[in-house]
Amino acid sequence: MSANTSPLLDREASWRVIEEQRLAIADVLAELTPEEWEMPSLCDRWRIRDVAAHVALTPHPPSLGALFVAGLRANGNYNRLIDDLTVRAAERQPAELVALLRTHASSRKLPGPTNYRNILFDTMVHGQDIAIPLGRTIEVPVDAAATGATTAAEIGWPVWQKRRLDGFALRATDIDWSHGAGSEVRGPMAALLLVVTGRPAGLARLTGDGVPALADRLRGAPVAG
């Protein structure tokens, strides 16, 4: 069963949220100590600085030549490619990454074969990847979270396993949104967005008979950047 939701955000509304999220991420990062920049994020193997670099460099996609070289290093593995590019970009100074986020927050430049809907959920979720381990808060608009989860739930290879949400009926409690059929998992839309994108951090805010099984599934899979 595909996702059921209130109307998705249109292009203009999506770009406004992307800009707001980039600025909110920059505000959090600007307050961090050197030690906090090195803390683990919610993404496997990525520090806070790695996630920050990933978001900051989104409006600055690498050249085709750089992508080709990185693709060779990654042996064609998509997630390994993203990991390689991100970790290299994270060598930049924290102040530079914060400045890039703020200066280009309104940029609508898209990297490679993607679209604004993918950038919407990517930016929101990576903001949580940074904020949650730090004990900070970045608010996610509920309609944007629903739009992002609708997009992310349908993405499979090479990012996620397409069947990762099979057997679960996800239901939001703060907006008219649902996805799938099976054991019920319900809770705030922001928490559902996290689990749809493979992050166990969202589980604590969810209830329903499907939560234990979903927790087992999520904890058995890496959280890809």
Per-residue pLDDT for 27 more than 90? yes
Task: Report the amino acid identity of residue 16.
Answer: R
How high is the mean pLDDT of the chain? 90
Q: What is the pLDDT of residue 66?
A: 64
Of 111-120, 147-156, 175-184, 202-211, the least confident: 111-120
Decide: 200 and 58 in contact? Cβ < 8 Å.
no
| pLDDT grade for 18, boundaries at 50, 70 and 90 | very high
Mean predicted confidence (pLDDT) in 99-128? 94
Per-residue pLDDT for 152 more than 90? yes
| pLDDT grade for 118, boundaries at 50, 70 and 90 | very high
| pLDDT grade for 69, boundaries at 50, 70 and 90 | low
Q: What is the pLDDT of residue 87?
A: 78
pLDDT tens, position by position, 73-106: 756 666 677 777 777 888 899 999 999 999 999 9
Q: What is the pLDDT of residue 146?
A: 98
Which of residues 57 and 181 earns the better pLDDT score?
181
CA distance 176 to 7: 10
Decide: 170 and 202 in contact? Cβ < 8 Å.
no
Decide: 200 and 164 in contact? Cβ < 8 Å.
no
| pLDDT grade for 70, boundaries at 50, 70 and 90 | low
18: CB partners within 8 A, 6+ apart: 116, 119, 120, 123
Decide: 198 and 223 in contact? Cβ < 8 Å.
yes
Q: What is the pLDDT of residue 60?
A: 81
State both tokens at 149: 């989860």
Which of residues 167 and 74 earns the better pLDDT score?
167
Mean predicted confidence (pLDDT) in 167-175? 98
Q: Can you list the positions of beta strands (E) in 102-197?
A: 168-172, 177-179, 183-187
| pLDDT grade for 156, boundaries at 50, 70 and 90 | confident
Q: What is the pLDDT of residue 149?
A: 97
Mean predicted confidence (pLDDT) in 155-178? 90
55: CB partners within 8 A, 6+ apart: 22, 25, 101, 122, 123, 126, 127
Which of residues 7 and 143 earns the better pLDDT score?
143
Q: What is the pLDDT of residue 108?
A: 95
Please give the distance of CA 60 from its chain centroid, rounded to a whole number.
18
